[in-house]
């Protein structure tokens, strides 16, 4: 494994009432690593991702990101979350603010930047996702692909050490997927550590260091994209890969 670990999730269990959603999952990422998490719906992959910034509180286990123990009650979670960017399936942009407003809110309120500083950083982030000219548009005036790129800019403006992507392209029309994947590829090349929950196999093949297959709340197997996609070792993995490749 290249470099030292930056994300260390160990023995994660998560219960929703009687439902046992995560059954002792371990996920460790080295710096600059890109890990793809695949698996059928309900396999717990989104829940695992949301445990990595404590949007979901694990029932037991430990999560350490960039040296900070997220489950320690003394941890300032809001401070820690600045270092962990997250991108959602449904964008979740603030509809009452412009693109720039979306990007700069946390810069001003959490990072404590002045408005002019925040605007400069926000504009730079929008430029990185190719939307410098859309800073004054509200989400309603942007296409789905543009909205998702603003959401990425909102996260990277805070200069995170890790980025979490929760099915970032599944709500997009097919012709808009490419622009979002392009931005993700640029991020990858800049050396960002990334955890991506997605079924974009082509992107996984090109960009991922490792693919993790989850089913029923546990990691069934993991390996290089080639290993998982061409020669899966497990019957359930094979069945799942076969299913998504047919589509």
Instruction: Catalog residues that contact other proteins under the rule CB under 8 A.
Output: 53, 55, 78-82, 84-86, 88, 90, 92-96, 105-106, 109-111, 151, 154-155, 158
Give min distance, CB of 103 to other proteins, in A.
10
Q: How far is the CB of 105 from other proteins (least distance, A)?
A: 6
CB of 138 to other proteins, least distance (A): 12
Indicate the pairing of strand 162-166 with strand 84-87: parallel
Three-class DSSP category at 191: coil
Q: How far is the CB of 225 from other proteins (least distance, A)?
A: 27
Find the shortest distance in angstroms from Cβ 81 to other proteins: 4
Cα 108 to Cα 113: distance, rounded to the nearest angstrom: 5
Task: Give dist(CA 60, CA 63) in Å, integer.
Answer: 10
Q: C-beta of 178: minimal distance to other proteins in Å?
A: 24
Judged by DSSP in three states, 4 sits in coil
Cα(102)–Cα(137) distance, rounded to whole angstroms? 10
Contact 108, 121 (CB under 8 A): no
- Shortest separation between residue 110's beta carbon and other proteins, angstroms: 4
Of 139 and 225, which has the nearer Cβ to other proteins?
139
Whichever of 105 and 227 has its CB closer to other proteins, that residue is: 105
C-beta of residue 21 within 8 angstroms of C-beta of residue 8: no
Residue with tokens 């029932």: 59
Pick 93 or 211: Cβ nearer other proteins = 93
Residue 196, token pair as written in the block: 């991506």
For other proteins, the closer CB: 142 or 204: 142
Q: Which of residues 131 and 155 has its CB atom nearest to other proteins in the complex? A: 155
DSSP code per residue over 109-128:
HTS---HHHHHHHHHHHHHH
CA quadruple 182, 215, 58, 35: dihedral sign: negative
Closer of 56 and 215 to other proteins (Cβ): 56
Closer of 55 and 176 to other proteins (Cβ): 55
The SS3 of residue 231 is coil
């Amino acid at each position: 494994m290249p470099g030292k670990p930056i994300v260390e999730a160990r023995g994660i269990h998560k219960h929703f009432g009687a439902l046992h959603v995560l059954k002792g999952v371990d996920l460790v990422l080295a710096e600059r690593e890109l890990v793809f998490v695949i698996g059928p719906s309900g396999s717990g992959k989104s829940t695992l991702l949301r445990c990595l910034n404590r949007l979901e509180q694990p029932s037991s286990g430990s999560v350490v990101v960039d040296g900070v123990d997220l489950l320690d009650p003394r941890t300032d979670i809001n401070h820690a979350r600045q270092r962990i960017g997250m991108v959602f399936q449904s964008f979740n942009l603030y509809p009452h603010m412009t693109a720039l407003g979306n990007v700069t809110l946390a810069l001003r309120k959490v990072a404590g930047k002045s408005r002019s500083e925040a605007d400069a950083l926000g504009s730079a982030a929008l430029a990185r996702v190719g939307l410098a000219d859309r800073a004054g548009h509200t989400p309603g005036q942007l296409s789905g692909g543009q909205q998702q790129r603003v959401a990425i800019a909102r996260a990277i403006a805070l200069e995170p050490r890790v980025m979490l992507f929760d099915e970032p392209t599944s709500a997009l029309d097919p012709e808009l997927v490419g622009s979002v994947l392009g931005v993700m590829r640029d991020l990858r090349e800049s050396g960002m550590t990334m955890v991506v929950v997605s079924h974009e196999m082509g992107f996984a093949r090109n960009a991922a260091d490792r693919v993790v297959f989850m089913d029923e709340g546990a990691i069934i197997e993991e390996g290089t994209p080639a290993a998982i996609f061409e020669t899966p070792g497990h019957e359930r993995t094979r069945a799942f890969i076969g299913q998504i490749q047919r589509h």
